Amino acid sequence: MNGHEPLRSLLRWPFACKALARKRPALRRALLERPGLLEKRIAVLGGSTTHDVVAFLELFLLDNGIRPTFYESEYNQWWEDAVFGNPALDAFRPDVVFIHTSVRNVRDWPALGAEASESGVEETVAKWRTAWEKIAEKFNCPIIQNNFDYLPYRLLGNLDGTDLRGRVNFVRRLNAAFAKYARTHDGLSINDICWQAADFGLARWHDEAYWCLYKYAMSREALPTVAFNVANIVKALFGKNKKALALDLDNTLWGGVVGDDGPENLELGTETAVGQSYTEFQQYLKDLSKTGVLLNVISKNEPENAKAGLAHPQMVLKEDDFISVKANWEPKSENLRLMAEELSLLPESFVFVDDNPAEREIVRQQVPDAAVPEIGQVEDYVSALDHGGWFEAVRLSGDDLKRNAMYRENAQRAQLQSRFTDYGAYLDSLEMKGTIRPFEPVYMSRIAQLTNKSNQFNLTTRRYTQEEIERTAADDAFITRYGRLEDRFGDNGVVAISIGELKGDALELVLWLMSCRVLKRDMEFAMMDEMVAAARARGAKTIRGFYYPTAKNGMVRDFYKTQGFAKVSEDVQGNAVWELDVSNGYEPRNHHIKIER
């Protein structure tokens, strides 16, 4: 795919719409060549023409490793399709529904000739709510819904935003009502076209000729922006977002070269304009890390020089804000791979930020799926990183907020381990406490997230939406268990998920995954002990496990062997079935984690 990089760069913000529209067929062909694309069915229900939106959406999804097939409603049939259904849509069975409506679909504006009143919002929102509820009921799948952009005119001028009869004011109230619904309904994500239009420029966003001629809700130039944002939400839904940043130091986090200029001469802090730019970039990164993005450093420097720079009194980011700091003279691509391995992440989960084009190029070539943005001058860094959409989240879970702390604790565990020669003694010293229970409502979102994000320690790599997880949990034919793990350094949160389906006197393990942050802690044994006990209580005599190889789950090829299973069959692709006979008892294998049920 590297040969296609000039083409793929058309898919990076800011979008050159003309070139992108024109090269679409060629780009599509190139993107379809990539192996391992995840297939998803996306229904686009439009309140305006959706043709170009879908065409651009396809490109952005392909670029993210998702191969979509589309259902498109007839022109402006979004509500009829959602509420009354349609055999073609029913047969399509969407994985995601995207409702592409806009301010052009608002009908009942507050009456201008009447007294001002707060009413009106509920009537309009009710129309959309009916659609969301029907879709949720019928397809049980995530919904992506545009909010409303502003009209290209203001009848009341600046008063339009203040007066309850103003349409600017009404759009704001509608958007607040949509957001409130989305906050309380996990299945709904809002595509914020109101912000997108502001960012893009409202005057360029609307195109009256395209509206009247072709019923385009926004100008052709704006469509890549809309499609890109929808693709970002889809990729977040299926766990394809990035998790970590690998940041350069010299001229990326501060101005100057610490090894040459000395730490006292770095440009940083509010005394100079350039120094302020670096400080603001650092503040952005610090805030980003609080949402769960992991900060790391890869710098070509002597370690003591890097340390001296990081200790600069004007640094917003302190050494503690970074999980891993690699300061050496090895190729950055090697450092990135090593860092990913140490953090139990995939190299493709990283965004690599470096002011040096040569460093960006080597990482682009050597680590093809890591994101390597063009970042411009220091005053552009925030905008370039922010518009990349790499860290888009569907929900901000408690785990996201604690992630940096958890990775830091892992580093402390690694230090402790180096003091023990007996691994079991080390495990005991961690004073681990586990909680293993059937799926519970408060964890449904985290469980769905894990099924979509876990690639390495994942036996069947089966993805679930939250709705599917809830349905499975409620179904008597399934045994579900989540596992949380705490130890003396902190709480790892929910880290293991298992789903078994009872088939006759066997329990089939249709999902078995664990977060790599708790590798080699015996959590998988504790989970198996619980699943076997639950299966035996339901009369199962055999536990059946499956291993389906992917490009990423080689580490668990022999998982069931380690668990004492016997291989029953294996096809040429390596898909294997394993069985464990539990009719005559089962010897628990976890000896280091104290389990609460």
Task: Give the residues lining the site for other proteins (CB under 8 A).
Answer: 18, 21-23, 25-26, 29, 49, 51-52, 55, 209-210, 212-214, 216, 220
Nearer to other proteins, 217 or 345 (CB): 217
Q: Identify which of residues 16 and 506 has a Cβ nearer to other proteins in the complex.
A: 16
Phi, psi of 274 (to 5 degrees): -65, -45
Q: How far is the CB of 148 from other proteins (least distance, A)?
A: 24
Smallest gap, in angstroms, from Cβ of residue 207 to other proteins?
A: 10
Toward other proteins, which CB reaches closer, 75 or 420? 75
Closest approach, Cβ 25 to other proteins, in A, equals: 4
Evaluate whether 61 touches 27 at the Cβ level (below 8 Å). no
* Nearer CB in complex with other proteins: 23/172: 23
Cα–Cα distance between 489 and 431 in angstroms, integer? 9
Other C-beta atoms closer than 10 Å to the C-beta of 274 total: 16
Nearest to 517 by CA among 407, 402, 391, 398: 407
Q: Supply the minimum distance, in Å, between the C-beta of residue 220 and other proteins.
A: 5
Provide, rounded to whole angstroms, the least separation between the CB of residue 55 and other proteins: 8
Of 520, 476, 496, the residue nearest 435 (C-alpha): 496
Report the distance separating Cα 257 and Cα 309, nearest Å. Answer: 9
Closest separation between CB of residue 102 and other proteins, Å?
Answer: 17
**144 secondary structure, DSSP code:** E
Q: Which is nearer to other proteins, 28 or 154 (CB)?
A: 28
Sheet containing 350-353: which strands, arranged edge to edge? 324-328, 294-300, 244-247, 350-353
Q: Helices 223-237 & 51-63, crossing angle to 10 degrees?
A: 50
Q: Hey, what amino acid is at 60?
A: F
Least distance to other proteins, CB of residue 217, Å: 13
Q: Who's near 195: CB < 8 A, 6+ residues apart?
A: none
Query: 52 or 392, CB closer to other proteins?
Result: 52
**Closer by beta carbon to other proteins, 25 or else 585:** 25
Based on CB atoms, which residue is closest to other proteins, 26 or 401?
26
**C-beta pairs of 416-420 under 8 Å, 24+ apart in sequence:** none
Neighbouring C-beta atoms of residue 353, cutoff 10 Å: 23
User: What residues does 245 pair with on adjacent strands?
Assistant: 295, 351
Smallest distance, Å, CB 23 to other proteins?
7
CB of 6 to other proteins, least distance (A): 15
CB of 16 or CB of 393, closer to other proteins: 16
Bridge partners of 566? Answer: 579
DSSP letters spanning 509-557: EEEEEE-GGGTTSSHHHHHHHHHHHHHHHTT--EEEEEE---SS-GGGT
